[in-house]
Amino acid sequence: MLLSSKLNISLDSLMSTEIAKQTSNNANVTGTIVITSPHENVIATCYKVSSSGKMLGGKSSPQYSLFGVSKRIASFWGEPTTFLGWYADKEQITKEIEEIQRAIANGIPTYTLKYSAKTERRWANGFSRSLLISLMWITSMWFRNN
């Protein structure tokens, strides 16, 4: 903890590579992974992922979102994150997170999201209701955690 506060970085950042090396005998373990999100057209280098809580929305709206966290220097708002995808339910996002964790621990350099939901974008009258709710939730979580 002392090292974390002196260097002004999270314990997650300090421990991610070390934990990955302990859980695998693979010499190629770096503690990071390049994640490709086919539905969002995003490629991000991450050392961990985080998910949103259950979001409000219509019956056909995705309920969860996944973010990749990079090792770049944290800013005033916290660690840099990249939106990776939407998920229909808790089971789908849980499977995705478990597979990403396994890939990082085994030193697999790349991962393509398998369980994310393809969403329809509606921009006719501004933001769609579910996207607006999601953005509001993300903003509130951001400020609550920092």
SS3 67: strand
What are 37's two structure tokens?
Answer: 């999100």
Q: Hey, which residues does 78 pair with through a beta bridge? A: 75
pLDDT band at 131 (very low <50, low <70, confident <90, very high): low
Give the model's confidence band at 3: pLDDT under 50 very low, under 70 low, under 90 confident, else very high. very low
The neighbour count for residue 51, using CB atoms within 10 Å, is 16
- The answer to whether the CB of 84 falls within 8 A of the CB of 68 is yes
Whether the pLDDT of residue 2 is over 60: the answer is no
pLDDT of residue 33: 95
Residue 34 near residue 110, CB atoms below 8 Å: yes
pLDDT tens-digit readout, 7-64: 455 555 545 545 544 554 566 788 999 999 999 889 999 999 998 888 777 777 888 9
What average pLDDT does the chain have? 77
Report the pLDDT value the prediction gives residue 96, as an integer from 0 to 100.
96
- DSSP character string of 104-116: HHTT--EEE-SSP
Task: Kindly list the domain boundaries of the chain, sorted by start residue.
Answer: 2-145
Region 72-95 average pLDDT? 86
